[in-house]
Amino acid sequence: MTSANVQERKISSLHVLVVSLSLMMTIGAWLYSKQQVNLQIESRFEASKNRTIDLIVDRMSRYEDALWSGVAHVDTLGADVTAASWKHFASSLNIEEKYPGVNGIGLIQFVDRQNLQAYMTARESEERDFSIFPEHDLDFLLPITFIEPENINAAAVGLDVAHETNRRTGLLASRDSGGAQITGPIFLVQDSGHTPGFLFYTPFYSGAAPTSLSERRDRFAGVVYAPFVVRKLVEGLLSKDLRDVRFSLRDGEQLIYNEHDPDEPLHDDAPLFTDTVELDMYGRIWTVDVRTNQAFRAQNSFDQPNLILAGGLIIEILVISMLVMLTRSNQQAHRYAEELTKELRTKTDHLEKANAEIEQFVYVASHDLKTPVRGIGFLADVIEEDLEEIIGPLAKHPEIKSQIDMIRERVSRMNDLTKGIMEFSRVGHRDSDAGEHLSVSKLIEDCVADFEVDATTVQCSSDVEFIRYDSHNFRRVMENLIGNALKYHPNPRIARIEVSIEDLGEHLRVAVKDDGDGIPAEFHEKIFAVFQTLRVGSGPESTGIGLAIVKKAIQRNGFDIWLSSSDGHGAEFKFDWPKNQMQAEIELENVA
């Protein structure tokens, strides 16, 4: 296999790598934008879910406040609470407007059977048709004495809540705790629909506020309560037409409210998001099952990821076209180089002319490559304009703006790669600086100025004042080594770089040492290869050509470069450089 064939094979592998990386970038951008859109949609679901939960908790808190105001009313009047005074109190609450979802507000009194006659006498004095029902064998009664509005709750007046377990258990728990309490699921006697409901209790006591369980039981006088039909409670929260989520409620194992029926309007058989939340609701555990509906799905369907994928694939086609052009150009360059090499073997005086012709060819190829690169940049601008016409200013869609900017950044990187390839091809040209001497101190001053660092950052000790051979490439080598030391330093402001040039008689030995993070041993050879970089994560961008240029420039003069470094302990690059042209020719003959 000829050297030209080997080179063509390397270039083909490079092309495959470039195409693969470009395709990975496109797919990565698509997946990233899709993930960002999904995160936005999920956050909207979380907001809708939290709003629903907060409405339930807030509304129950408001109902509790109303019940405690009833307790305050009872504490104020004591035994003088009458049907008329209770009706006046309930009307002042404006229940239908301020507390939608509640059936009413009532008073349940604790009656020992020994005091039943006195209790009934008090009711007769109010000239009311009042009776207690149903009969039971307990030694105390808990009749509903008053409830307003009475017209819609008449069936509940006189009901003894002690007769039924859930009603009685919740009330006694409220008595013992001294706090608000709701019952387990029940059916209200005044609910003709016979749907799940519950009672909400707040206790009151005779005399001063009790401080212990025994005092609360001894001085318990009754509760202020509110009856609820769960269906009406939810309707009072927020109309389903104004929500893009649906939910169900369970008290323990019993379903007390359900919006997940397939016959429900806007029901989604495969909701985008679901979640369950457990609420400690005044002594009961309510499980809220929240799911998105068809309205949520319609409002949260976005085509941005697909637009990005389509745009990326178009760019991918342009990149492949560009690489095909590059492959053809390289093949032509290799064939041309082979022809020139044959002539140069017998006509060494034509060497510089041939190099100039190759350099000119690289410039032409580079110019040809700029056209598709500019086309990619133009396409990015067109995509941005089209997207703004579809979805508005991209400032409101940072994820899309980020992907467009990423495309532009990759176009800029392609330009940098093209420039780097041109510079790599020109390493070794010395005609322009033949006979020129490079001041070592001036070189260090220029590096300090170019990299905008403090003068103390780069320290130099040198046995020679001038570099007298191939000064142009020597400057290029030093600028790359010092630049890399600063570029990859974790904190360039406090970096310390030491440059030493030692005269060994036959040649110069140069060392560039830094105090950065260092380079692991397994990468010491890799970093000198073309297009190889150790950049990770959000580290500085690199074309991977700088150190390849350094090595090529040094090897063109018959020497090599080596690295001493370990991870976390800085890096030191050392190389030899000829003192004059005679020394360079000797070294080149030794290499040959």
Model confidence over 37-53: pLDDT tens digits?
788 889 999 999 999 99
Backbone φ and ψ for 286, nearest 5 degrees, come out as -100, 130
**Is the per-residue pLDDT at 513 higher than 50?**
yes
Between the two ends of the chain, the Cα-to-Cα distance in Å is 21
Name the more confident of 378 and 11. Answer: 378
Q: What architecture is the 435-591 domain classified under in CATH? A: 2-Layer Sandwich (3.30)
Highest mean pLDDT among 231-235, 299-303, 356-360, 397-401: 231-235
CA distances (Å), 86 to each of 117, 150, 155, 193, 228, in order? 22, 11, 18, 27, 19
Question: What average pLDDT score do residues 366-377 get?
Answer: 66
Quickly state the pLDDT bin for 23 (edges 50, 70, 90).
confident
Backbone φ and ψ for 360, nearest 5 degrees, come out as -65, -40
The overall longest dimension of the chain from CA atoms, in Å, is 135
**Is the per-residue pLDDT at 234 higher than 50?**
yes
CA pair distance 180, 216, nearest whole angstrom: 14
CA pair distance 368, 362, nearest whole angstrom: 10
Question: What average pLDDT score do residues 355-379 get?
Answer: 62
Question: What average pLDDT score do residues 440-459 get?
Answer: 90
CA pair distance 555, 474, nearest whole angstrom: 12
pLDDT value of residue 555: 87
In angstroms and rounded to an integer, the radius of gyration of the C-alpha atoms of the chain is: 43
Decide if 89 contacts 200 (C-beta within 8 A). no
CA distances (Å), 313 to each of 4, 116, 318, 379, in order? 33, 87, 9, 12
What is the location of CATH 3.30.565.10 in the chain? 435-591
Question: What average pLDDT score do residues 529-536 get?
Answer: 59
What is the location of CATH 3.30.450.350 in the chain? 81-235
Taking phi over 0 as left and psi of -120 to 50 as alpha, with beta for the rest, 146 belongs to: beta
pLDDT value of residue 133: 96
Q: What is the pLDDT of residues 114-138, one digit of tens each?
A: 999 999 999 988 888 899 999 999 9
Among 62-66, 105-109, 344-348, which is the least confidently predicted range? 344-348
Cβ neighbours for 572, distance < 8 A, ≥ 6 positions apart? 511, 512, 513, 514, 563, 564, 565
The predicted model scores a pTM of 0.51
- Please, where are the H alpha helices in 110-256? 116-125, 150-153, 165-177, 213-218, 230-237
Decide if 387 contacts 307 (C-beta within 8 A). yes
Residue 201 burial (CB count, 10 A): 27
pLDDT value of residue 529: 74
Query: What is the token pair recorded at 347?
Result: 């006509």
Name the more confident of 322 and 198. Answer: 198
pLDDT value of residue 432: 43
For 81-235, CATH number? Answer: 3.30.450.350
- Cα–Cα–Cα angle for 251, 253, 255, rounded to 5 degrees: 60
Query: What is the token pair recorded at 248?
Result: 């169900």
